[in-house]
Amino acid sequence: MTTQTKKRPRVPVHGVLLLDKPVGFSSNDALIKAKRLLNAMKAGHTGTLDPFATGLLPLCFGEATKFSQDLLEADKTYTTVVHIGVTTTTGDTEGDVLETRSVDVSEEQIRQVLKQFTGPIAQVPPMYSALKRDGKPLYEYARAGVTLEREARHVVIHELEFLAYDAPLLSLRVKCSKGTYVRVLGEDIGAALGCGAHLKELRRIQVGHLVLEKSITLDFLESLPEEQRLALLDPVDALLSSFPVVHLNQELARRFLHGQRLALGKETVSLPQVIGRVRVYRDSDGQLLGSAQLQEFGILAPERLINTQES
């Protein structure tokens, strides 16, 4: 008679883990492993990185998942190596080679072409993507040999910095808006140069205000004793650190946590001199209560609230 090892019950874990995703892992694979290592009940990631890509993947646990949408919509920064002269089915190293052409372009030609891709641009999403058509991801159609018409999407390339060129490899730094496919950017640059291209490497170095320098690897997380792993998490409000702060007294905090709009104009509450999103804390213990919209005349409208019983 065999005995089965009982699975440990998951526990509430709250915070943000800045992970340096390794090559070969999908974002979901990395999330599942980190969630298991932390024995966490609830977790989510904040923007997919392709398996061939590496770099910053912020993982949200527990109450932090309520604020993950902000990072999905944040600007992102990458370093990338574009292999000029070779096109592939996927626009990166994971695909089959479609065509190889000779490369005879100068650094000056490259710099001129890069200017065309700085600022607002239109991109046609790749077939090898998770975008859905009739409930099915585009990559499933692509694997079946089906190519569908896709509408161009408007994105913004805030910065496109030339780093190095050692033919046929072009190194760039890209700061871009949400929804940008750096794979497509690399292909489009290659097309503009007249010889095609695909991404050889892609590394995400920043998401919003979060930076790769503060991240850790899965191997490092796994190497630690279990009781030390939770200490690596940043607090939930690490996701909100770019927003102004509002502190409430005990009674106002109670009303805020019940979802009530608060008229703070006549209260003795110090308010930031801006209208818009703020993070809200309880004065007595410094507890994060959630995010809110600060409106005209000192009206504070609750947005996403923290479960203070668990966090």
Distance CA 166, CA 300 (A): 55
CA 155 to chain CA mean position, Å: 16
Q: Which of 20, 50, 70, 237 is catalytic?
A: 50
Distance CA 125, CA 134 (A): 16
Distance CA 233, CA 16 (A): 5
Angle between helices 107-116 and 182-193 (to 10 degrees): 120
CA dihedral (13, 17, 20, 23) positive or negative: positive
Active site residue 283: no
Burial class (CB in 10 A: 0-12, 13-18, 19+), 121: buried
Backbone angles phi, psi at 305, to 5 degrees: -105, 145
Which of 295, 289, 293 minimizes the C-alpha distance to 255? 289
- Residue 143, both tokens: 């694997």
What element of type H or E holds 236? none
CB-based contact 115:143 (threshold 8 Å): no
305 contact partners, CB below 8 Å, separation of at least 6: 256, 257, 259, 289, 290
Considering just the CA atoms, what is the radius of gyration of the chain in Å? Answer: 23
What element of type H or E holds 262? strand 262-263
Which of 84, 91, 88, 128 minimizes the C-alpha distance to 107? 84
Residues with a catalytic annotation lie at: 50
